[in-house]
Amino acid sequence: MAKHSSLSRRTLLKGAAVGTAVAGFPAILKAAPSQLVIATGGGKLEEAYAKVHFAPYSTKTGIKIVTAPNTNAKLKAMVEAKNYEWDLCQLPAEFAAHAAKQGLLEPLDWGQMDRAKMLTGTAHEHFVMSDVAAYHIAWNTKNVKSGAPKDWAEFWKASGRRGLWKRPFQTMEVALMADGVAKDKLYPLDVERAFKSLDKIKASTLFWNTGAQSAQILIDGEVEVSATWNGRVHDPKIGGAPVDYHFNQSLFVSDAWAIPKGAPNKKEAMEFIALAMSAPNQAAFSTIIPYGPTNTAAMPLIDPKVAPALPSSAENYPKGTFLDVTYWADNGDRVAEQFNKWIL
């Protein structure tokens, strides 16, 4: 007991000394903060960020990275109260678009990033999309031994049960493609037509809530086919789980980097984002997580063996289409209300 308490006291003293030393620096040099707080979704994504972005950034600048969970509502609370816990954040891109519309984000300094190299639609004034994930068709290989659906129209006709996200976002797009709308003619969404399309499969569809759930029902064979994100089934498939997928007619979605409006360490946050968006960092990230780069300069740096798993590879990218985050920022509320009413 005594040993423990003396140990903890020593650690505490050491910590205090380091804290004083670090806190002393900015006062003298009028330079960088001692740490940068980044809000992320956690999990494997954060592990990849830590390896690819955090470590090099800290080495380069001497600034320590601390992470926090990226609860959407917290961004609004922080900006309203002008009391900042985060210096920057990783957010779902559609939410970033929404937040930008509500004036919750700082404009980015595009002088530090090569806007011309970004995939169309991924560079925005207040946020930059950081990776390309795909919402696509997947199936259980034990339940579906042959004739897996090649596109959403076939997915709609597939026998047995299918899984879709219990949210209008992405599900509406998929419903329209199933009804024959071309992937480049989705927006603005024909909401009525999407509901008519969804009506046809409502009874035979399991509407899931979370990405983890979509993977579980696929792997356990609770459904024959399901929409899911490639990051959810990539590892299980390699690990031998009875699940397969393809990128045909997939809907590309993304995360985004953004800075809360009025956050105090904007300069450092912007430097971090520029580093994370640089070609080598984007390439290194995509090697760990099967989400493709949005900076096209990163693609040539990626191992050709990894590329087929990435939604934004030269081979896969033409098969799908990017979700229009601006549409959802403008119409999300209204469509969500209609969707909730429809699904009840």
Partner 1 sequence: MTERASGEAWTMSRGYARLLALPLLFLAVFFAWPLLRVIVRGFVDPSPGLANYIRVFGDGPYLKVLWNTVETAAVVTVLCLAIAYPVAYVAARLRGAWLHLAAAAVLIPMWTSVVIRSYAWMVVFQRQGVLNDALLALGLTDTPIRFLPGSIAVHVGMVHIMLPFMILPLIANMRAIDRTLLSAAAILGANPAMAFLKVFLPLSLPGINAGVALVFMTSLGFFVTPALLGGPRHMLAAVLIEQQANQLLNWGMASALATTLLVLTLAIYVFYARITGGAAGAGAGR
Report the distance separating Cα 129 and Cα 311, nearest Å: 14
Site for partner 1 in 220-239 (CB under 8 A): 220-222
- Tell me how far, at minimum, the Cβ of 193 lies from partner 1, in Å: 20
Interface with partner 1 includes 6 (CB under 8 A)? no
Q: Candidates 72-80, 109-117, 130-138, 144-152: pick the segment binding partner 1 (CB under 8 A).
A: 72-80
Q: Candidates 14-22, 52-60, 105-113, 328-336: pick the segment binding partner 1 (CB under 8 A).
A: 328-336
Return the half-sphere exposure (C-beta side, CA atoms, 13 A cut-off) of residue 144: 27
**Cα distance between the two ends of the chain:** 58
- Tell me how far, at minimum, the Cβ of 325 lies from partner 1, in Å: 13
Interface with partner 1 includes 206 (CB under 8 A)? yes
Q: Torsions phi, psi of 122, nearest 5?
A: -100, -15
Q: Count the residues of the shown chain that bind partner 1, applying the rule CB under 8 A.
A: 28
Among 6, 8, 11, 340, binds partner 1 (CB under 8 A): 340
* Of 251 and 298, CB closest to partner 1: 251
Q: Candidates 48-56, 124-132, 204-212, 271-279: pick the segment binding partner 1 (CB under 8 A).
A: 204-212
- Token pair 């003396």: residue: 6
| Neighbour-count burial of 143, counting CB atoms closer than 10 A to its CB (0-12 exposed, 13-18 middle, 19+ buried) | middle
Q: How far is CA 136 from the centre of its chain?
A: 15
Interface with partner 1 includes 159 (CB under 8 A)? no
Contact indicator for 79, 260 with CB cutoff of 8 Å: yes
Site for partner 1 in 14-53 (CB under 8 A): none
- Tell me how far, at minimum, the Cβ of 209 lies from partner 1, in Å: 5
| Type of residue at 110 | W
Which SS3 state, helix, strand or coil, does residue 174 take? helix
- Tell me how far, at minimum, the Cβ of 75 lies from partner 1, in Å: 8
At 271, list the tokens: 């430097």
- Tell me how far, at minimum, the Cβ of 320 lies from partner 1, in Å: 23
* Of 95 and 252, CB closest to partner 1: 95
Among 34, 58, 141, 216, binds partner 1 (CB under 8 A): 216
Interface with partner 1 includes 209 (CB under 8 A)? yes
**Cα Rg of the chain, angstroms:** 22
Helices (H), 33-85: 43-49, 55-61, 72-81
Report the distance separating Cα 294 and Cα 277, nearest Å: 8
* Of 101 and 117, CB closest to partner 1: 101
Interface with partner 1 includes 125 (CB under 8 A)? no
Site for partner 1 in 76-105 (CB under 8 A): 76, 95, 98-99, 102, 104
Q: Torsions phi, psi of 336, nearest 5?
A: -60, -40
Which residues have C-beta within 8 Å of that of residue 195, sequence separation ≥ 6?
175, 338, 342
Report the distance separating Cα 219 and Cα 141, nearest Å: 9
Nearest one of 222, 244, 248, 250 to 232, comparing CA atoms: 244
- Tell me how far, at minimum, the Cβ of 275 lies from partner 1, in Å: 29
Report the distance separating Cα 120 and Cα 7, nearest Å: 55
Interface with partner 1 includes 71 (CB under 8 A)? yes
Site for partner 1 in 253-292 (CB under 8 A): none
- Tell me how far, at minimum, the Cβ of 339 lies from partner 1, in Å: 9
Interface with partner 1 includes 337 (CB under 8 A)? yes
At 206, list the tokens: 């399991």
**Footprint on this chain of partner 1 (rule: CB under 8 A):** 71-73, 76, 95, 98-99, 102, 104, 166, 206-207, 209-210, 213, 216-217, 220-222, 332-333, 336-337, 340-341, 343-344
